[in-house]
Amino acid sequence: MKKMLALALAVLMAVCVFAGCAQEAENVLTMGTNAAFPPYEMVDENNKIIGIDAEIAEAVAAKLGMKLEIKDMAFDSLITAVSSGAIDVALAGMTVTEERKESVNFSDTYATGIQVVIVKEDSEIKTIDDLEGKKIGVQSGTTGDIYCSDSPENGGYGEDAVARYDNGALAVQALANGQVDCVVIDNEPAKAFVAANEGLKILETEFAIEDYAAAIAKENTELLESFNKALSELKAEGKLDEIIGKYIKAE
């Protein structure tokens, strides 16, 4: 009888532990990003992913009573990861585009991005009108890639004009080494890359202005609604501006 009671208690405890683990797992918000896009996401000296997107996701998760888990992956795999359920949400300085909206839903906009052009200080490229016939470095899968690789009829420069890299840092390194003539990338990481690489500058002419938002699976409408509600509260509380202001100083 004692043995049966002990066995029953053991089973009950195991069930409770399993249920607790399952409940804990359900309370995790998994965010995918590409942590080479400062100041939106980067890795600090402790190998922790920090930045605007990481802090916004952390604040949203707290509003939802969830724990945030961040996965670093290739930028051009993020949409697939969201659609397949490998991650719950993607925050990666991701621009809302019609093509991406075919695969995922987007949250409300939380930031505005500006695409710019990085060149060498002695470059003959003075404005975006001078990009014709030049080799353009881009981060694979980004809007810079999409804009530049599009056909000339659609305002792009064609596939042959583009050199793709896994992240912005590699594209900028290729520019510094003379492998490409310029790099098209978001203004904020551009400033960080130029500051870290002597002899480079950003053209004054803006390439494009974009809206950043979080990508969420189309069928996960509950998360989309909850995410937008939390985002709205963070905006009203001034927390969103506080996070962005921490990394991007008003000019």
Q: What interhelical angle do 239-247 and 221-236 show, nearest 10?
A: 80
Q: How confident is the model at residue 9, as a pLDDT?
A: 46
- Residue ranges of the domains in the chain? 2-110+213-247, 112-210
* Mean pLDDT, 10 residues at a time, the chain of 251 residues: 46 46 67 93 94 97 97 95 97 92 97 92 94 94 90 91 94 96 93 93 88 96 98 96 86 52
Q: Are 34 and 189 in contact (CB under 8 A)?
A: no
> Six-digit token pair at 46?
């402790």
Q: How confident is the model at residue 15, as a pLDDT?
A: 45
Same topology, domains 2-110+213-247 and 112-210? Answer is yes
Q: How confident is the model at residue 205, as a pLDDT?
A: 83
Q: What interhelical angle do 221-236 and 52-63 show, nearest 10?
A: 100
What CATH number should be reported for the domain whose range is 112-210? 3.40.190.10
b/e sequence 76-112, b meaning 16+ C-beta within 10 Å:
ebbbbbbbeeebbbbbbbbbbeeebeeebbbbeebbe
Query: Which stretch of DSSP H or E encloses residue 245?
Result: helix 239-247
What CATH number should be reported for the domain whose range is 2-110+213-247? 3.40.190.10
> Six-digit token pair at 182?
């310029």
Q: How confident is the model at residue 250, as a pLDDT?
A: 58
**What's the DSSP call for residue 32?**
E
Q: Going by C-beta distance under 8 Å and a sequence separation of 6 or more, which residues neighbour residue 33?
A: 41, 49, 53, 54, 70, 71, 72, 73, 78, 90, 91, 92
Q: How confident is the model at residue 72, as a pLDDT?
A: 97
